[in-house]
Structure 1
Amino acid sequence: MQFSSRILLSALMLATIAGCAGSKPVAYQTEKFDSTEIYARRFTVSSEVACEAVRRTLLSQGYVISASTTTQIDARKSFQPENDVHVQIAFRVVCTTDNADGNLTSVFANALEDRYALKKINNSASVGVGALGSLSLPFSSSDDSLVKVASTTIASEKFYSRFFQLVERYLTNEAAPAPEALEMPDEHLRPPFKTRAVPIPAAQQQ
């Protein structure tokens, strides 16, 4: 009877351990799909004008534009917070027209942070010695390579808020009338409209 009790107790312990090991949080469980306020803003301009403001915003912050159209901008920026750590932020912004008149646009922004670590690979030297074949010698060289160790979507509300504020600033500058000066040959290209950011209603997010 005592032997059976030990077996039962061991089985319960194993089941408990297995349950704990299998209860790791799943990333997609945090996806609620209940708000787009972090990643999106609405502006009273055309999609072309909005994406041009986005392009200038990213360029002004040191991002390298990798792809650019009238409705989508892709850009990257590299950081090195530590000697053996490399971080790259990849921005993708999409501008979509929201009405038939083409003067209302939703701007969706997403930033992906990739983190790389420096990995050393040791290569030992070998020399052929006639009939003895290959002989390894205590001479070695090391090659450094960057290995991706993490990749995550930036979900900071403050991060995107600063981005959209700068986009709105560029839109406001574009909408302001240009002074009549000889050094402004492209003043006729400035659109004669005002702009403001409009929060996306919750009812339209479904």
Structure 2
Amino acid sequence: MTAEERLAALVEEVRHDPAALPLASARAARVVGRGPGLDGRRIEDVARSRLLVTACEAVGPDGAADVVAAQYAVGDADERRAVLLALPELADRGLGDGAVPVVLDALRTNDTRLVAAAMGPYAAAHLPADAWRHGVLKCLFTGVPLAAVADLDVRRDAELDRMVRAFAEEREAAGRDVPADAHRLLAAADR
């Protein structure tokens, strides 16, 4: 049986019983595999995201936010990353702002994998401006490359520039290095 066939069996399990999602997600890496896939995404992230999308489709748009929150709450860091990575697809299927609390929780962590995944397209489209700006600063503070921040050039504003400048000045005053991404952002602001 191929990895795709094994994943299809897990998907069917979740389609028939959305409550099976946590166990199916926990088993996904063992059943389907781990590591980078042909498209650069991690195989287990793709599998777990597909399982989450399936569970959300099974419960419908009114229950999707609850499924997302529950899966995020019970998942380990890898499973939480997969939840965050699935949010853009779920947003296209009617999730709306329902997963903003999950994104905000991820931004409160110091797990760079979660912070990077949290600042993707879903955050760009759904986070309020203040929370989004703080997410950008969290990336700078934790060393997450700003390339992970979706629509940075679109959402960047004078307030973010002010916050990044203050961050850089504070680090310089403390004799600490300023991340190269902060310098690039400030150079763009000065143009």
Which has a greater percent of helix? 2
Instruction: Give the TM-score normalised by structure 1.
Output: 0.21
Instruction: Give the TM-score normalised by structure 2.
Output: 0.22
Larger Rg: 1
